[in-house]
Amino acid sequence: MVEIVSVRIDKWLWAVRIFKTRSLASAACRQGRVRICGLAVKPSRNVRPDDVVVVDQNHLARTLKVLRLLDRRVGARVVPEYLQDQTPPSEYEKARQFNVRPRLLAPKGAGRPTKKNRRAIDRLYQSHLPSD
Number of domains, the chain: 1
The reply to whether 103 falls in a domain is no
Q: Which amino acid belongs to residue 49?
A: P
Write the CATH number for 70. Answer: 3.10.290.10
The reply to whether 121 falls in a domain is no
Q: How crowded is residue 74: how many other Cβ atoms within 10 Å of its Cβ?
A: 13
Per residue in 33-78, pLDDT (tens digit) is 999 988 999 999 999 999 999 999 888 899 999 999 998 999 999 9
The reply to whether 73 falls in a domain is yes
Strand boundaries in 1-132, DSSP class E: 7-8, 34-36, 39-40, 46-47, 52-57, 60-66, 83-85
Whether the per-residue pLDDT at 3 is higher than 80: the answer is no
The residue segments making up the domain with residue 87 are 7-95
